[in-house]
């Protein structure tokens, strides 16, 4: 219960004290709560690794009648990634992005409450509930700071996700009406026993669930809401949102392997035939988006979509090696994309009215340091050796060698990597090598008036969340308080390489556990798997 109780209690405390204590105190409370949540996750991870699956029946109601919280290797892996990401994103936010609203810190903890609940719940209806919690918090976080472009992108984000929530209710209502349960372990038993006359409607409900999860994961063609939303929100919020698409990927993996796994009879592997083509198509379109983006933040957003295509390609292989490759690639892609969002904000703060636009402009303050970090992230994200991006994609390609569609997987993964290299090389050249050393007169005027075009102008106004005038160019010193969280995320990716043996052992064991759902069913329903 700790990964749920801690952020919920912290959110309530921060909400009640928002007018009574200073911003500095709220920052310390939020940081302390986030670090406590990280400690709780590490403790649970040690327990699960040593003792196996842990189940908490809320109110001591037995499954499937009560609410089940289930901590297994997969859910704890997602919780650990979320906690580490939250620590780095919040460390950046307290440098000034959190000012201007009393609600940023409560919403941040409510977002963590929703994310942790989605990973821990063993019930489809409560998965819907936690989806709604994290989405409601994300609406407020997305709009934090205001601005026309941000509000417009936020409106699209809200409308699309409300439509997804409605479809989710239709799906769970249909499953409950036919099968009489929404506990995922019990659903796995009931789906395998579905009467022949009900197979069609259960299949339709399962496909509707997949549509909802594909929307949350930003899978083609349901990704169009993401680039604008992530590009226009504040940097630490975009960094935290790097895990939100992974919630959809997690739900796809969990439902496909547990409820529609090998033992599901005529409903076995319900979405497997369509998942690989959609994942490869998502990867292709996202790579073209990365190449055509005119701002670094939008380019980072397309890299999130590209990562989800790569991740679901690994999951779609349906083998222990493929799923293990995806689970290794998942933290890499999350941390790397989040780091690039934060670095894009550091760069935008030093370029005046040009902000993050990929146009030649003024020299970025402390360009050697900032450019060096950008180069490291570019190598990391592109999948070049010897960093974690290379290891994740190498494991994916190895897993695809004996699978149908091998040629398509190899060709598109390598082509997307090549396009990413070209796009990031072009961005680095425009930002650091073709700089003219000073802010031009028209750019300086636009910085003061906020009338720049593209990702300047209205978008530049969104950057001034720490009291500075829009477009103000900072000094020549390294902005270490903002750069350190970026380095922290990059360091986590480096740790995936240095501890590759330990991490791959964990992901291999997790993949094998995911593909053996009877262990999960027995842990939740009892030793014999009966009610």
pLDDT in tens, 242-289: 999 999 999 999 999 999 988 888 888 889 889 999 999 999 999 999
Give the whole-angstrom CA distance, residue 116 versus residue 202: 28
Q: Give the pair of three-digit tokens for residue 257.
A: 């392997």
Structure tokens of 505?
């052992």
Write the pLDDT tens digit of every residue in 54-91: 999 988 888 888 899 999 999 999 999 999 999 999 99
Closest by CA position to 190, among listed 176, 200, 211: 176
**Does 530 have pLDDT greater than 80?**
no
* pLDDT for 76: 96
Q: Which of 45, 44, 32 is nearest to 6 (CA)?
A: 32
Close Cβ partners of 377 (under 8 Å, ≥ 6 residues apart): 336, 339, 340, 343, 490
pLDDT tens, position by position, 123-169? 999 999 999 999 899 988 988 877 787 888 888 888 888 899 999 99
**pTM summary value:** 0.89
Q: Where are the domains of the chain?
A: 1-269+520-531, 271-498
Of residues 478 and 260, which shows the higher confidence score? 260
Residue pair 223/301 in contact by the 8 Å Cβ criterion? no
DSSP secondary-structure letter at 431? I
């Amino acid at each position: 219960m700790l990964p749920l109780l801690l952020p919920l209690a912290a959110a309530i405390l921060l909400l009640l004290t928002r007018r009574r204590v200073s911003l500095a105190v709220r920052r310390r409370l939020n940081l302390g709560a986030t670090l406590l949540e990280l400690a709780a996750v590490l403790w649970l991870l040690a327990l699960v690794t040593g003792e196996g699956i842990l189940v908490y029946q809320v109110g001591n109601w037995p499954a499937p009648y009560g609410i089940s919280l289930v901590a297994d290797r997969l859910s704890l892996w997602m919780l650990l990634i979320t906690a580490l990401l939250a620590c780095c994103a919040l460390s950046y936010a307290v440098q000034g992005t959190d000012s201007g609203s009393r609600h940023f810190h409560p919403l941040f903890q409510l977002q963590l409450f929703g994310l942790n609940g989605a990973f821990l719940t063993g019930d489809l209806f409560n998965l819907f509930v936690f989806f709604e919690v994290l989405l409601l918090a994300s609406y407020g976080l997305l709009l934090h700071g205001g601005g026309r472009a941000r509000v417009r992108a936020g409106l699209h984000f809200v409308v699309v996700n409300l439509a997804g929530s409605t479809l989710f209710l239709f799906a769970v209502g249909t499953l409950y009406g036919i099968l009489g349960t929404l506990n995922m372990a019990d659903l796995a038993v009931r789906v395998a026993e579905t009467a022949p006359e009900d197979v069609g409607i259960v299949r339709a409900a399962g496909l509707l669930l997949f549509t909802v999860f594909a929307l949350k994961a930003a899978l083609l063609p349901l990704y169009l809401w993401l680039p604008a939303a992530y590009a226009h929100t504040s940097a630490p919020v975009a960094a935290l949102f790097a895990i939100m698409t992974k919630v959809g990927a997690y739900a796809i993996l969990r439902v496909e392997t547990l409820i529609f796994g090998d033992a599901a009879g005529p409903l076995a592997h319900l979405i497997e035939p369509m998942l690989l083509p959609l994942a490869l198509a998502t990867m292709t379109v996202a790579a073209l988006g990365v190449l055509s983006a005119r701002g670094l933040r939008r380019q980072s957003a397309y890299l999130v979509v590209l990562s989800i295509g790569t991740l679901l390609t690994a999951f779609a292989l349906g083998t222990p090696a493929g799923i293990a490759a995806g689970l290794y690639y998942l933290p890499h892609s999350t941390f790397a994309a989040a780091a690039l969002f934060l670095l894009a904000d550091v760069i935008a703060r030093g370029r005046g009215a040009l902000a993050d636009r990929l146009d030649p402009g003024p020299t970025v303050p402390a360009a050697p340091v900032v450019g060096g970090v950008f180069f490291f992230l570019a190598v990391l994200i592109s999948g070049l050796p010897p960093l974690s991006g290379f290891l994740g994609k190498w494991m994916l390609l190895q897993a695809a060698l004996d699978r149908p569609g091998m040629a398509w997987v190899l060709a598109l993964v390598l082509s997307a990597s090549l396009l990413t290299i070209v796009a990031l090389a072009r961005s680095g050249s425009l930002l650091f090598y073709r700089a003219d050393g000073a802010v031009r007169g028209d750019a300086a005027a636009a910085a003061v008036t906020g009338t720049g075009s593209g990702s300047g102008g209205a978008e530049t106004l969104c950057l001034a969340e720490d009291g500075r005038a829009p477009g103000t160019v900072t000094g020549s010193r390294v902005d270490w308080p903002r750069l350190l969280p970026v380095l922290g995320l990059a360091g986590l990716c480096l740790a995936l390489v240095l501890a590759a043996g330990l991490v791959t052992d964990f992901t291999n064991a997790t993949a094998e556990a995911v593909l053996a759902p009877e262990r999960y069913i027995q842990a939740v329903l009892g030793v014999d798997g009966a009610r």
